Structure 1
């Protein structure tokens, strides 16, 4: 595949005002995407797309520029306003549109933003379509004839439609009455949605991180900063806490004692509940998924595969295998029997389903999952150093792996965003982790 110039693993993302996240580029991207989509769906009249966004101040600018480019290419535009990323995936399918567009930088601070696409099926846009859009981006922006211009309109009930969809993934015979839940929406896209979902299912809800001002998204709240949720759960004497990130596709949960549960633990609770309903063939994790999770899947007779870090790669592996469940330690959880993409609200509802069906606390649900100690160190990586072929590093890795045996593992990977090498050791005992990490860090990468 041709090297991408603009699209990363999750659309286009960068600092606002940079080479890609600006009004001029968004206009060109909208026009290019419109031309490609019009060719993809000939004979369907004027194709239509939906645009959703999170709460960043730059969303207004990018939304208007995309709308103009798409309209100039003859595409109708439906504007959903601030809604979670998975809401756009759902609405794209529900409204029978040709694509969905999300303006969000997920868990990043407000100075960043991004643009990503969903296909008509509510999944990440195929690589070949992204490649076609990239090929068009640097072409001059034109305009179809006036009679063929796209129209734009706002969807006033986008949030309500999505709230009902989320609730539909929770069993009809169950409710959340009697539960006191703190919901933290990270001042992001779910600020006016997530509290309603849990409240309408019967819970008493205390909302934090639900006062966006365009600048405070993910700031000391949400899944990236669960300390605020832990504190609020304890303060309120709540039973549970639910934290989302800026675009609400990532989940962290806290129980009444203030214990934090990451994506691996939450996915385990979901899988164990599903196994009681029908067999689960397999689960997809990532290179960062805790080794304890993998070993527990083996003990349960459930297949397990590691994908590269990124929910896109998790989904690709799930589709290839025909498996329904997967996720990342960071909290991107996919339940393809509920939705086509990762969804923090729906994932939380599946954990609550497991608790309601079993009558167990979250701690009890994951009690058999032994999470292995895991530590990571970032070390500088000088330009031109080929760490994969570095003899000293590979020798140290082999020595550590030999020492660990089947009690642990080593993961070495380069950062995708900065000149650093990530060294990670995981084992069933902390001492083994620390000894192994010291041996790896001691390698001088400047000398081979």
Structure 2
């Protein structure tokens, strides 16, 4: 066996010896490249599980060195932190521009107690690489801790531009900053007015949790007069928060400010009653909420638009077409025309009007629609009480009592929907009974 190996080696040596120098060089280059490819592949394979072993095959891999440095930065373990610093220094020596290397070195220096030097290093890392989240995250926290709130807002902008998903983590500290005074609020408004890519994500996180909704009202009020007005989706965040807090008048005023000026002269009691404008899915307009097992659409016949709902035989607790109303105390009528096309359901489909503050307080309900019915007019009269009903919801629904009540197939169509005032009729605070008339 030993003789055969020796013989094989001698044979290869004799073969190489017969090669011309250019050929020999080519073979050596090919062998080197093959080893580099195999080594790099083995390194990548081992890196997630055993980065130290991976370094055996590629001792200068920046990703592996970064992983090792991060593993060593354990608070309270100075020996490990010092080792992490050494690894980061090694990486910087190999590649001074390696992303994240300088910031990890600075974090290690900070954990070893040299805060002043660490700040210099981390500021240098942030300036060198604007998307270095480690450096900018440290600068953000440092600015917060030292009450440099305007600087913190600048770092927040940098962090969110690099990774908008950080909005969830940064929203609590931003909320605290916005309570610190007008200067911070003004800087944050200017950031929002620049329409950064993180604006919608941060507003979505901030709107439900901010303690003082007046901050939101001021920010949105200023945005309405800026070049980058709130989108319908962003406005929906504000309105949802205000309605959650029962601030119906404030929500309505904010929505009016959001409307195009040319629409303000013809609002009516039921805005967009003929679907003459694109549906915005905002509370004081029509809201169509998608659901599995049903579809909601507007179809056009000449100049008339029809609200069409189709069901596909599934179990659907349907209440997915809504519109918020702001009716003053008094008497009203809700009118329209409806048709059913093989609408198979135990109870049927109806419109219901109820007080926003108390969903159990039904003011009116139309007759239940089911089976096949040709288009015919309906009218239901109702009264809005003087107490506890500042806003109302109009909702198309199946009044489900038990699970099987939600089994539904077929479709329904609605046109010419309207709310009219019956101002001359007498009323009292408890005259909320509905009267239904169907025109056949």
Higher RCO, 1 vs 2 (CA within 8 Å, ≥6 residues apart): 1
- State TM-score, norm by structure 2: 0.25
TM-score (norm 1): 0.25
Greater fraction of residues in helix: 2
